[in-house]
Amino acid sequence: MERNLAVREFGRTGLSITPVGLGTWAIGGGGWAFGWGPQDDERSVKAIRRACELGIDWIDTAPVYGLGHAEEVVRKGVAELSHRPRIFTKLSLRWGADRQIFHSLKADSVRDEVKASRKRLGVDTIDLVQVHWPDPEPDIEEGWRALAELKDQGVVRHIGVSNFNVAQMERAAAIAPVETLQPEYSLVEPAAEKEILPYARAHRIGVIAYGPMGYGLLTGAMTPERVARMPSDDWRRRNDEFKEPRLSRHLALARLLADIGKQHGGRPPAEVAIAWVLANPAVTGAIVGGRSAEQVEGFVGAMTLRLAPEDLERIQTFRAEHP
């Protein structure tokens, strides 16, 4: 499974991207249903600029992150860069005046979302727009057709999907090619490796995986005490993976990753967790969230980390013993 991690062909898009991209879910801040708690915008801007300084050449965001705020922060973060990264965003999750989130894949909604994202991001053309969720499912064809039309018009360069299963990708592909896929994939949530990733590889669909560090569980910094101290508006407090007995399993895995990292010159467990995701031949890149320049510095080395066969075997043994 050894691969060149310097840059990777992104499916059939014609793009080549670094194996790690910066995720911006957390920098959207708190105050909405799936926020990560309070976040300082200046720290976010520094994280974006540091990521680009260290060689990351793409950023993944979404309108719903902070209800528009993350896209605005991304615009500020890249504004003064001499070499701007590619920006990937999404659509289908909207919100009303009451800040309650709802799903829409109606054609008018797709067009409105792309227009709003272009304004918030300060760009005429968005590098990649992805359908965030296949919901409402009966409207997949309508939404995908509208997005394909926007690509034909030149306001979107590439189109992809996120959280789609194989059957849903095939429905979309009957209208226009699915260029990219964004699935959740990590040692905490590896289900995509059963059907979704093999399908993407067989059809040359570029894959950028989200959640590679298990939302902090595999960084080596998570503890039961830290979970207990999470802000009330941090969505992770409600997630079963952060509760027993799952929490203890994941923390034990993080310790194994730390031990493996020591064998690679003291690499942090976060980098090992990301490198494991990148070792899957179907995966083009991993989306890694960073809320500060220091956090970015703690994972960017994953772009050059290759796990040895014996490392992968140790991880697989743990998975078999702790399903």
pLDDT tens-place values along the chain, 323 residues long: 333 348 899 999 999 999 999 999 999 998 888 888 889 999 999 999 999 999 999 999 999 999 999 999 999 999 989 899 999 999 999 999 999 999 999 999 999 999 999 999 999 999 999 999 999 999 999 999 999 999 999 999 999 999 999 999 999 999 999 999 999 999 999 999 999 999 999 999 999 999 999 988 999 889 989 889 988 888 898 889 999 999 999 999 999 999 999 999 999 999 999 999 999 999 999 999 999 999 999 999 999 999 999 999 999 999 999 98
The one-letter code for the residue type at 249 is R
Cα-trace Rg, the chain:
19
Q: Are 257 and 220 in contact (CB under 8 A)?
A: yes
Q: What pLDDT does 237 receive?
A: 87
Q: What pLDDT does 1 receive?
A: 35
Closest by Cα among 54, 1, 41, 29 to 201: 1
Domains and CATH numbers, the chain: 15-216+271-305 (3.20.20.100)
Tokens of 122: 């300060």
Tokens of 304: 């050059």
Q: What angle do CA 65, 230, 101 make, to 5 degrees?
A: 30
Q: What pLDDT does 34 receive?
A: 85
CA 208 to each of CA 23, 97, 280: distance values in angstroms, whole numbers, following the listed order: 11, 32, 11
Q: What pLDDT does 50 receive?
A: 97
Q: What pLDDT does 308 receive?
A: 97
Q: What pLDDT does 5 receive?
A: 45
The one-letter code for the residue type at 42 is E
The one-letter code for the residue type at 174 is A
Q: Are 67 and 28 in contact (CB under 8 A)?
A: yes
Report helix, strand or coil for 180: strand
Tokens of 231: 């802000």
Active site residues: 65
